[in-house]
Structure 1
Amino acid sequence: MKTAFNRREALKLSVLGGLGLSFADVSNGLISLDKIQTRRIPSTGEALPIIGLGTWQTFDVGNSMEKRKVLTEVLSKMHHFGGSVIDSSPMYATSERVVGDITSNLAYQNKLFYATKVWTSGKQAGIRQMEASMQKMKRQRMDLMQIHNLVDWKTHVKTLKAWKEEGKIKYWGITHYVDSAHGSLENIIKLERPDFVQFNYSIRSRHAENSLFNTIEKYEVATLINQPYESGSLFRLVRGKSVPEWAKEYDINSWGQYFLKFILSNQNVTCVIPGTSKPHHMIDNMKAGLGKMPDQKLRNKMVSYLNSI
């Protein structure tokens, strides 16, 4: 969700030297590659690009035109590679409004997949908050509305199901970001059959592999993955170290791609949503959706290598 370590150093070491490119080439988006892969949303069969964009902290820029200009470039890079998912929340301060203001001026605004959340208690309070979110994001219909961290979920799930029937939202889902909530997510999946579930999963935080992914597969639920970089701790772990040569055989040319490709090699992952406010990081993220994905043997090797650092 946030990247504490300055990722620019890692990218210089592992991407540019290997490709013979200048850093300006990457940050200016001069590299033209294929579109990223997509996976199906089980409840409808709709194809969704496997890498999107989280907005926690990164889009909380208020009225700063300078920062909004940079964020517009971030969205441009995502769109260039075929990405579409933007995930926000009323919890994220000005992020929803910033998303709405920026995207309303984009020619491709209606090709994006807008997701936000309800984060309050009480039916009417939830309705007011969701309506406010839709106004801020300038959407007549929200692609995905989620119950943030399961706050008052029994109340909101009734509203979300009704809104889906009425066409006010296309999908509804539930979210959390800690391992201890995975059991609750599983129980709600079994009971209410949401379209989406969002949760934490990364190369060093694999609690979801114990049973949550099995439940997701059985009940055919789409997934959004948060905390892919463990709040930046993964980049701190590999600081000053190069990506191993054997990883490059799977089109892994940076540590960001190493971490994201491990997640995406789990076929029950529909889309991962790392947050960034930097265009060159967006490019690096999107490249993880290109080329080969690790098989189980390589996944094990990736874990072992990281544990040895």
Structure 2
Amino acid sequence: MTRESFLKKSLLTAAGLYLTPGLVSAFGNQMLMKTIPSTGEQIPAIGMGSWLTFNVGESEHERAPMRNVLMEFINQGGRVIDSSPMYGRSEQVIGELAAELEVTDKLWVATKVWTQGKAAGKRQIENSLGHFRKWPSVLQVHNLVDLDTHLETLRSLKGEGKLKYVGVTHYLDHAHKQLAEIIKREKLDFIQINFSVRNTAAEDYLLPLAADRGVAVIINQPFETGGLFNYIQGVSLPAWAKEYGINSWAAYFLKYIISNPAVTCTIPATTQVAHVKENMAACYGELPDQATRIKMKDYFKKNAL
């Protein structure tokens, strides 16, 4: 190993971005990894969401596109997949397709509890366990519904060694203040929040607070449910974006997010294999520094329709 490569590896390890040999380095063909503060475990910085996309029926016509998406995600090095009982049949479909493809053990599953009452919450967790055919890595209280009741259940499961991580989620800016108060008073492994290159409210206080408290952060709605692409129709990527391995607007949006040091992972959703490839491409190559992140945000705002 040369002195230069040693220094790069050391910097990446300190930043939680170095993957074991055979997978990535931010300066080569290795995947960008982020570290979960509470354990030191590393996961890929790009995962996959399942709201709307995996909520399909039994027919091969409906299942085939999502089977292909899941297989491509795994082939591209993806592991983190997020779901919820709120998402219709998504948990069941993911679990069944993963079993068909024999990739169940490759998935790092994040799912949620979304109901009122302890008994109902426990039933949802049992259902999720049945769908995925293994324990999720993290269970999250979805949109803070019956928060204290479900946190008690999740902590009990963690104490029994069945569950590794406990978290909470929301998807709207107005919940950020409440989330900040929660992570100040509760010991959490994860929060999941909304954040994008257009909506950067989380950067003002919540993301720095999570980093200070040692809480991992999953970002939902990185494309604002696809809405971000409407703002840049006909707009070319800046030439300097290629310096960071950015060859699509999807990668531009995702690299802005994962280059924030407080962000652990983001979970774009799609029904198209081509989009999986674009999304996962953002998990490779150098990450923008803070000066470049500002330039990225400014370029988007200047050129957004």
Does the pair score TM above 0.5? yes
1:19-168 to 2 correspondences below 5 Å: 34-139=29-134, 141-168=135-162
Task: Give the secondary-structure state (helix, strand or coil) at the position aligned to 2:226.
Answer: helix
- Conservation of the 8 A alpha-carbon contact between 1:43 and 1:195: yes
Tell me by how many angstroms 1:161 deviates.
0.2
- Aligned amino acid, residue 229 of structure 1: F
* Cα offset, 1:277, TM superposition: 1.1
Q: Is the 8 A contact 1:36 1:83 kept in 2?
A: no
TM-score (norm 2): 0.88
CA contact (8 A) 1:53 1:87 kept: yes
Secondary structure in structure 1 of the residue aligned to 2:100: coil
CA distance in 1, matches of 2:30, 2:74: 9
Amino acid of the structure 1 residue aligned with 2:257? I
> What residue number does 1:263 align with?
257
- Residue 213 of structure 1 and its aligned partner are, at CA, apart by 1.1
The residue number in structure 2 matching 1:306 is 300
Q: How far did residue 255 of structure 1 move?
A: 0.4
2:262 partner letter: N
Per-residue deviation at 1:67? 2.9
Give the partner amino acid of 1:268: A
The one-letter amino acid of 1:291's match is G
SS in 1 for 2:212: helix
Name the Cα RMSD after superposition. Answer: 1.2
Give the C-alpha shift of residue 210 in structure 1.
1.3
Answering whether residue 185 of structure 2 is matched by residue 191 of structure 1, we say yes
Q: Return the letter of the residue paired with 2:71.
A: S
Question: Which deviations, in whole Å up to 9, do the C-alpha atoms of 1:115-162 show, x marking residues without a partner?
Answer: 1100001111111111112112222x2211100000000110000000
Between the aligned partners of 1:77 and 1:187, the Cα distance in structure 2 is 39
Cα distance, 1:35 vs structure 2:
4.2
Unaligned 5+ residue runs, structure 2?
1-27
Alpha carbons 1:142, 1:168 under 8 Å: kept: no
Secondary structure of the 2:53 match is coil
User: 1:17 maps to which residue?
Assistant: none
Q: Which runs of 5+ in 1 are unaligned?
A: 1-32
1:236 aligns with 2:223: no
Task: Quickly say closer, same or farther: Cα 1:79–1:34, change in 2 above 3 A.
Answer: farther
Residue 219 of structure 1 is matched in structure 2 by 213
The 2-side partners of 1:277 and 1:172 are apart by 28
TM-score (normalised: structure 1)? 0.87
The percent of aligned pairs where both chains have the same amino acid is 49
The letter for the 2-side match of 1:70 is P
* Deviates most, 72-81 or 112-121: 72-81
Aligned to 1:253: 247
Q: For the Cα contact (< 8 Å) 1:34–1:81, is it kept in 2? A: no
Structure 2: distance between partners of 1:266 and 1:283: 22
Letter aligned with residue 84 of structure 1: R
Q: How far did 1:34 drift?
A: 3.3
Alignment match of 1:202 (pick from 196, 199, 224): 196
**Alignment correspondent of 1:4:** none
Post-superposition CA distance 1:52-77 (Å, at most 9, x none): 00000000112132332221221222
Distance 1:232 1:37 in 2: 23
Distance 1:66 1:169 in 2: 35
Query: Contact 2:104–2:132 at 8 Å: present in 1 too?
Result: no
Report the 3-state secondary structure (helix = DSSP H, G, I; strand = E; otherwise coil) of the residue aligned with 1:198: strand
The 8 Å contact of residues 36 and 81 in structure 1, kept in 2 or not, is answered as no
Specify the SS of the correspondent of 2:271.
coil
1:18 matched residue in structure 2: none
Determine helix, strand or coil for the equivalent of 1:231. Answer: coil
